[in-house]
Amino acid sequence: MAESKKSATLSIDGNTYDLPIFSPTAGPDVLDIRKLYAQAGVFTYDPGFTSTASCDSTITFIDGDKGELLHRGYPIDQLAGQSHYLEVCYLLLYGELPSAKQLEDFELTITHHTMLHEQMVNFFRGFRRDAHPMAIMVGVVGAMSAFYHDSTDVADERQREIASHRLIAKMPTIAAWAYKYSIGQPFVYPRNDLDYSSNFLRMCFSVPAEDYEVNPILSRAMDRIFTLHADHEQNASTSTVRLASSSGANPFACVAAGIACLWGPAHGGANQACLEMLNEIGTPDRIPEFIARAKDKNDPFRLMGFGHRVYKNFDPRATVMKQSADEVLDLLGVENNPILQVAKELEAAALNDPYFTEKKLFPNVDFYSGIILEAMGFPTSMFTPIFALSRTVGWVSQWKEMIADPQNKIGRPRQLYFGDTARDYVDIENR
């Protein structure tokens, strides 16, 4: 962390305190309040930590007002349009784009870590058949610490790297097997001659009865979904991974905690909510009715997949994802899928409506990724597991950065307490 060159003065009951101010390379200045309690005896109050920087980082930067998302300084639209997921994984993990040789070695390492320990098959079969794939992923990823003892020592840099590679490599296998288990089909093992996204699609949709050829358009679309969800700064699940890792917990447990947090509908379920909305609309002729409801302040209905909490202008990931959505729909068609027909016509209606354009309620990445996954044949229960698969590299990168940070200490948020003060215990017969 750079030295503070500015400060602010806080006055409390006639006493003044100087608070250092740090100026980042991008984003607003940050007040350093680490010594405030020791000096002034007060905490700060920030529910949701929406105005609090919990760490310093060099991985991802978001400017919601400008619609900007940078990974190690590289704009997300350039990475998603010109790069591919494993190259972005290398960038997030190591800070720089790889050379051709470095990328080849990295891809080889990931490819040869995709298989799961065979005993983990029994772990999958311990779940009920109707278990949600996210429930299976939370359990299986957490259980990896019981199978891979040689990569759980967080103090060992080499073990941290091995754990990082294993998590990135094995997550597609875990997600695909969770899906296969939920639909009663046999597990499909990874193949080393396929790229990352093609391998995942094959493990999801291949069956022993016939060969499965991965369409390159679908593989590219899947790769873009992975890339566009790789990291998103200090969001809820990333903060969960960091908080869990601050105790020194092993990386598999920390990522399992991140998956559990992502499972929440307010975080990882946005594209699923979008598809559920399209199902509620049902047919294209009902779109004007739902557009009118979205404009009505007294109606609780909201157009899911339009606008974004972080991006106040536009979602920089949406442009590239729209391109993939158009390519996938051109390939697979929408004629026999009423939900995709609704999606296409709803997109056109909203983009041509002044109400939405003036409020900058443009389709976001969740709208287009939901359409793509629906067109590919994934059930909505798999949308969040695919998100977790994609985000694993972000969690791992943030975890590695935190462990190596000399300022790292166990997380311990404070509280504003309004409960009872000390009172004496009363025997039960006198209550």
Q: Active site includes 424?
A: no
Concatenated DSSP letters for 282-322? -SGGGHHHHHHHHH-TTS----TTBS-SS-SS--TTHHHHH
- For CA atoms 390, 392, 395, 398, the dihedral sign is negative
Distance CA 367, CA 152 (A): 37
Q: Which of 77, 223, 231, 366 is catalytic?
A: 366
Residues 6+ apart with CB under 8 A from 108: none
Q: Give the pair of three-digit tokens for residue 3.
A: 């030295």
**What totals of helices (H) and strands (E) does the chain contain, helices first?**
18, 6
Q: Work out the burial of residue 325: count CB atoms within 10 Å of its CB; fewer than 13 is exposed, 13-18 middle, 19 or more buried.
A: buried
Residue 252's alpha-carbon distances to 151, 153, 165, 302, in angstroms, are 9, 11, 12, 37
Catalytic-labelled residue, pool 195, 223, 308, 315: 308
Q: Which of these, 55, 410, 123, 57, lies nearest to 249 by C-alpha position?
A: 410
How far from the centroid of its chain's Cα atoms is residue 58's Cα?
18
Catalytic: 308?
yes
Helix %, strand %, coil % of the chain (to 5): 55, 5, 40
| Catalytic residue ranges | 308, 366
